[in-house]
Structure 1
């Protein structure tokens, strides 16, 4: 009977209702149980129903799903390699070395800005804002108590740093998801992000330096926790300059515009080889870590929590999210829903500035409604990507705009998933939000860029 219905292009009203239906199903699912994978699968099911209503056969809908999922396969492969990279970086002592020397730099006079940068560095290295908050964040909160620095200021610096690292790290799931949902190459997305994030971090550092200096009282300093971490790291791992070669390779190859998968695989191989010489690892150990991640057994709870990371299996949840999100988008594209929305959107948007501002507003609206940054990236990303092709703007401008709105603000929105997590882990209330500067500074810079036309990159020929 379904095949007897003649398939047709939706009206604007039907396209809007269809998109709202999909969003509503996702919202209800998330509010019932915060499991994004299931929510997106149910959203895909809602899109299937819309397809049937418009007269599309199951074969048409299935083709749309597969075409959409094909767009996300590159990001899924990158995530699998990233899981391997994180495991070998820890196995080889890379992350331990960076944390060790980062903690050595802590002094009362520069504690707040140094804490901000230390969390940013940790988040870049492990690709997880949540992991950074739960480990380095807890350490810094303990040190702040000894320095008599208010918890709210410290927590604000921790969350800002952790969210920054999560936003620009090639190892981050949200970074890879955003690139996949906007059809952007991973390193193109990261480079574009730095145009907004670089100035934002510089401003944050200046503010944290000014604010933190007021509380830098040299009396009653307790660095006991830091000292125990330093001792544990130095006694359990061989920390040397050689361990920094794998991340240096990623940076160099990124600058040379080598494809992300190749750059990350070279880093994985080099990290694995170096781990044999620096930490006495075996080939079997490298293969095991690549699959299941590194398991730390130093006996120090915070260190073990921080270093138990990586592996292909740790990335499977994000791979499922990308597959479900791209399948849903593929159906909406196949049924003409996104095309109808785009055609009507372009009637009102005449300049790149307007499109960028619309993208930022879309991310904020979804975040306000869901409190979840992944959904706030997926839905606007799939909807607005064709508009950037239409106006011949590089999709990395879209990807960085969505991350500026969704990823960063999730850490400062009271009901945002990242904010709720930070409040619980760091044992602070909403008083930290006024000191979480990055989510408020970055969008201002993005809006200024939109108005003056700076860093609004033209689309590459094949993209157009």
Structure 2
């Protein structure tokens, strides 16, 4: 077998982690010092890390060849293409203000207190699944649900927690979510040529999300109204017309699960969404694509804006895959994988899954709750250790995505989700952390799945799911 040419560093292979360390420092600086969730700035930290790490390499050209190889990898390119396409659908759903339809339903039915909090959790679950953007949904949902919910007797901390929890649900489950795409695209089959199909991952993930969300819904229903008071002057809230935008969402999800082809599903969702929006008056033709008429002929509309809005995430993906290219070329990831496999946990399938859960949680805490960066960083390690134990890529992707969206996003002073919730609601970080029920129930659900083997499947010779591992 031909020995791979290893990228060597002055001071040893540990210096290959310099770009990652610099990236981590910028995570801390942005989220803990500046309290800013700026993906462009975070990507800048990644690229700056690559520049700082370059002089430590013995072969400067090989170092940058490794960066380019990482960025040009099939996984990286696949994620970038998918992100650009889903950006348009995501922006369409944001611009449709579908959340106003849910507020209208709640007000007409007479939902108050804990019932409204539980309903808000359910509504934001649907909206975030439709948009595939947890942060985007938070900025859209808080102004509509939070003020209305307080007037309807909701507890502020639990209401803020319910909105954020619903957004995290969509981040975890939506086929167009960046974390779903990243967790699927970083997990390959044995042949190393195919990545886990996004629709297949979502279909197999649904049971975990469903159990955790039902538990969270019941808890919000019981305690969501504690301490809240109903405003006697509550008037007409919401807009029922916005509910029509659930049609493209439903069709997208159905096509994705049935065909297991995300590009086909996005096409159906985008076309039906445009038709539905125009037919109901939610959109005009200018809502799709138009010139602003300003100097320079700036183009507006959710189609170009959708591509523009996803650029920050794309730049982050490119920078992280560049860092991964360096670590791969230096053999650092292989050494980390070997260390895990040789540890006590790595001796068994259950121990390997425990290592996946612990590693995913730790990496997410290090990156301040930035789940996409965490998945892109730790995903290759999960792929290697899981592959060696024959664990199906669907299962690996589910554990990876599930654990990063669980306890790590609850920690008050290390979670970007908590920071944004505080900024949008004015509720204290500790109070909001206590109201984030879904990430906690998701963590419990996944721990149960690992402990009992619920949902564990192995990869067959042709990539099929097996209940028992293939015999060597």
Structure 1 115/98 Cα, relative in aligned 2: closer, same or farther at 3 Å? closer
Equivalent residue runs for 1:79-90 within 5 Å: 79-89=83-93
- Whether contact under 8 Å (2:94, 2:137) holds in the other structure is no
Shift of 1:79: 1.4
Q: Aligned equivalents of 1:253 and 1:357: distance in 2?
A: 33
Q: Is the 8 A contact 1:394 1:457 kept in 2?
A: yes
By how many angstroms is 1:257 displaced?
3.3
Q: CA-to-partner distance for each residue in 1:23-79, whole Å, 9 max, x for gaps?
A: 3211222334462111222344466556x33898357525633543x3122222221
For 1:197, the equivalent position in structure 2 comes to 209
Aligned to 2:35: none
* TM-score, length of structure 1 as denominator length: 0.81
- Of the two structures, which has the highest relative contact order with CA contacts closer than 8 Å and spacing of 6 or more? 1
Cα distance between partner residues in 1 of 2:150 and 2:99: 26
Instruction: Compute the TM-score of the two structures, normalised by the length of structure 2.
Output: 0.79
1:440 aligns with 2:440: yes
Aligned to 1:261: 263
CA 1:310/1:123 → structure 2, altered by over 3 Å: closer, same or farther?
A: farther
Query: Which of 77, 80, 83 lines up with 1:73 in the alignment?
Result: 77
1:171 paired residue among 176, 191, 194: 176
Q: How many residues align?
A: 431
Unpaired stretches in structure 1, ≥5 consecutive residues: 1-5, 296-308
Instruction: Tell me the residue number matched to 1:28.
Output: 25
* Alignment counterpart, residue 41 of structure 1, candidates 35, 47, 50: 47
One of 320, 323, 330 as aligned partner of 2:325? 330
Over 3 Å counting, the alpha-carbon distance change for 1:423 and 1:284 in structure 2 is closer
Residue 360 to residue 284, structure 1, CA distance change in 2 (3 Å): same
Q: Residue in 1 aligned with 2:384?
A: 386
| 8 Å CA contact 2:286, 2:301 repeated in 1 | no
For the residue of structure 1 that corresponds to 2:459, the secondary structure is: coil
Q: Which residue of 2 aligns with 1:300?
A: none
TM-superposition CA deviations, 1:172-200 (whole Å, max 9, x none): 33333333344433223323432321101
In structure 2, the residue matched to 1:279 is 281
Cα–Cα, structure 1 residues 356 and 366, in superposed 2: closer, same or farther, change >3 Å? Answer: same
Match of 2:146 in 1: 141
More helix by share: 1
Q: Partners of 1:131 and 1:190 in 2: how far apart? A: 21
Cα drift, residue 336 of structure 1: 2.3
Q: Is the 8 A contact 2:67 2:325 kept in 1?
A: no
Preserved contact between residue 7 and residue 54 of structure 1 (Cα < 8 Å) = no
Gaps of 5+ in 2: 32-40, 188-194, 292-298, 465-472
Deviation at 1:428, TM superposition (A): 0.6
Aligned to 1:210: 222
Q: C-alpha distance in 2, partners of 1:276/1:405?
A: 40
Residue 456 of structure 2 aligns to a residue whose secondary structure is coil
CA deviations on 1:241-266 (whole Å, 9 max, x unpaired) are 5x443222212112213310121012
> Which residue is equivalent to 2:250?
248
1:161 aligns with one of 159, 163, 166: 166
Does the CA-based 8 Å contact 1:167-1:175 persist in structure 2? yes
User: In 2, Cα distance between the equivalents of 1:181 and 1:44?
Assistant: 21
CA deviation after TM superposition for structure 1 residue 318, in Å: 0.9
2:455 and 2:104 map into 1 onto residues whose CA distance is: 36
Is the 1:123–1:165 contact (alpha carbons within 8 Å) kept by the matching residues of 2?
Answer: yes
Of 415-424 and 136-145, more deviation after overlay is shown by 136-145
SS at match of 1:184: coil
Q: 1:364 to 1:31 in 2, by over 3 A?
A: same
Q: Give the Å deviation of 1:160.
A: 1.6
Contact persistence 1:178–1:381 (CA under 8 A): yes
Aligned positions of 1:275-424 closer than 5 A: 275-279=277-281, 286-288=288-290, 292-294=300-302, 311-348=306-343, 349-373=346-370, 374-415=372-413, 416-424=415-423
